[in-house]
Amino acid sequence: MDETQALAAFLALGQEHRLRLVRALVTAGPAGRASGVLADAVGVSPATVSHHLKELSHAGLVTSRREGRSIIYSAAYPALSDLVQFLMRDCCQGHPEVCAPAVAALAACDCTTGAAVHA
């Protein structure tokens, strides 16, 4: 991910409903959610959620697919991973303790179930 792509992603995420939508889609997993379900989850009208999903899609953070008469939206996990990597790429600068909290937070997620790992 380059700086221009990161800026587009952050611009899209800089609105509260869009951030909530991305979080809801990350929680939903690869199966995704229909826009009506997302509108209810975020507390906005279907027209408003469509606008926000379009902006997130243009930023590369959301994908969509048709299932019958519904459009299902999913988080674009590779793009979200790239955004985290963009932020953390040069974090340590010889001081691994700087990155340790972020690495520990990511390691605490069981990505097969989405649950937090408790040791």
- Percent of residues, the chain, with pLDDT higher than 70: 92
Q: Which residues of 38-66 are buried (b: 16+ CB within 10 A; e: fewer)?
A: bbebbebeeeebbebbebbeebbbbbeee
- What pLDDT score was predicted for residue 111? 63
> Region 83-106: what's the mean pLDDT?
81
- What pLDDT score was predicted for residue 118? 43
Token digits for 34? 């229909």
The better pLDDT of the pair 115, 78 is held by 78
- Measure the CA–CA gap between 8 and 14, rounded to whole angstroms: 10
Architecture of domain 1-109: Orthogonal Bundle (1.10)
> Region 98-106: what's the mean pLDDT?
80
Kindly indicate the confidence band of residue 42, based on its pLDDT and cuts at 50, 70 and 90: very high
